[in-house]
Amino acid sequence: MGDNMSELLNVKNLKTYFFTKYGTVKAVDGVSFKVDKGETFGIVGESGCGKSITALSIMRLVPDPPGRIVGGEIVLEGEDILKISDNEMRKVRGKKISMILQDPMTSLNPVFTIGIQLEEAIKIHQGLKGRSLRERAIELLEMVQISSAAVRYKNWPHQLSGGMRQRVIGAISVSSEPRLLIADEPTTALDATIQVQFLRLLRELQEKTGVGLVFITHDFGIIARMCQRAAVMYAGRIVETGSVRDLFDNPSHPYTAALMRSLPKLEEKVERLASIEGQPPPLNDDIQGCRFAERCTVAEHQCRLSYPDETEISDGHFVSCWKF
């Protein structure tokens, strides 16, 4: 892993719990990973595994109550942002870290034009006014490849297609030149061709601005296309981290291997795709052992007793499994 000079984000043992009348839900329970400057790091896992809560924790936007970050560190450019005040965090949010959410329609305010919403972000973080503010907004729309940007600038969100709206969100999120951009399933609401265009656009924005990108998805195809390294998440914990090549060539945790087996392969004709039997455990249960043990085909007695430590099985490839 890169040295401290190139390190942008270091999440250490992050724990985000939800305190409900049905008990404590450990949505994120001891997650650690690092992201270097200009790197694209993926977090992949099935719905409900804690990916989005990890992202909201980094942004310090976990709904409280019932959610609360109860432990760990989130070190951004050498500063633990869990220790700063809410007021200071507002300056970090948008300026140093930005986020693109899943659904572009709910991210934009329907009663303001695109231009007003873009300008608001630029005004807060860059202090531009008047004509230069409008010019910067139009320039950003052009940067995310929106044609006739000066016309679109005056449009309302409902006048744009889903792909266009997602581009506007992209423009807002890079408007103050953040160091870190978190993309939380940004292509889920888009159809396949628009999805490819948007991913290409994100990559171009990254090349232009050098922003570090955390890409959250349940799609291994997107991980393969976008990321250099990735973490596989299951039931609130990261079970495997490595380069994308390591994960595809040598998936070592039984869960990662099972996910890989369930991917359709063009060259093979099969009657049925492989599936993983059972369901993820409820996160309000106090599970001592490995959370995948009940669904794992190679689980042993030890797996149910205590959670395995992270083991480095090759350079930069970490797995939490008793097999290692």
Please give the distance of CA 64 from its chain centroid, rounded to a whole number.
20
Order of strands across the sheet with 229-234? 97-100, 180-184, 212-217, 40-44, 229-234, 237-243, 317-320, 310-314
Please give the distance of CA 279 from its chain centroid, rounded to a whole number.
23
Please give the distance of CA 164 from its chain centroid, rounded to a whole number.
21
Amino acid 133: pLDDT: 93
Q: Which residues contact 199 (CB under 8 A, 6 or more apart)?
A: 187, 222, 225, 226
Residue 231, amino acid: A
Q: Can you tell me the distance from the alpha carbon of 160 to that of 107, in angstroms, rounded to the nearest whole number?
A: 13
Please give the distance of CA 278 from its chain centroid, rounded to a whole number.
26
Which pLDDT band, with edges at 50, 70 and 90, does 3 fall under? low
Residue 248 has a CB neighbour count (10 Å cut-off) of 16
Answer whether residue 271 shows pLDDT above 70.
yes
Token pair for 226:
């976008």
Q: Which of 118, 100, 227, 244 is nearest to 166 (CA)?
A: 100
The predicted model scores a pTM of: 0.91
Q: Can you tell me the distance from the alpha carbon of 239 to that of 267, in angstroms, rounded to the nearest whole number?
A: 29
Q: Which residues contact 312 (CB under 8 A, 6 or more apart)?
A: 318
The number of residues making up the chain comes to 324
Amino acid 106: pLDDT: 83
Amino acid 242: pLDDT: 97
Q: Using only C-alpha atoms, what is the Rg of the chain?
A: 21
Q: Can you tell me the distance from the alpha carbon of 212 to that of 8, in angstroms, rounded to the nearest whole number?
A: 7
Determine what percent of the chain is predicted with pLDDT higher than 70.
99
Which pLDDT band, with edges at 50, 70 and 90, does 319 fall under? very high
Across-strand partners of 100? 183
Q: Which of 149, 128, 131 is nearest to 140 (CA)?
A: 149
Answer whether residue 63 shows pLDDT above 70.
yes
Answer whether residue 33 shows pLDDT above 70.
yes
Answer whether residue 290 shows pLDDT above 80.
yes
Which pLDDT band, with edges at 50, 70 and 90, does 92 fall under? very high
Q: Can you tell me the distance from the alpha carbon of 74 to that of 14, in angstroms, rounded to the nearest whole number?
A: 7
Q: Can you tell me the distance from the alpha carbon of 80 to that of 230, in angstroms, rounded to the nearest whole number?
A: 22
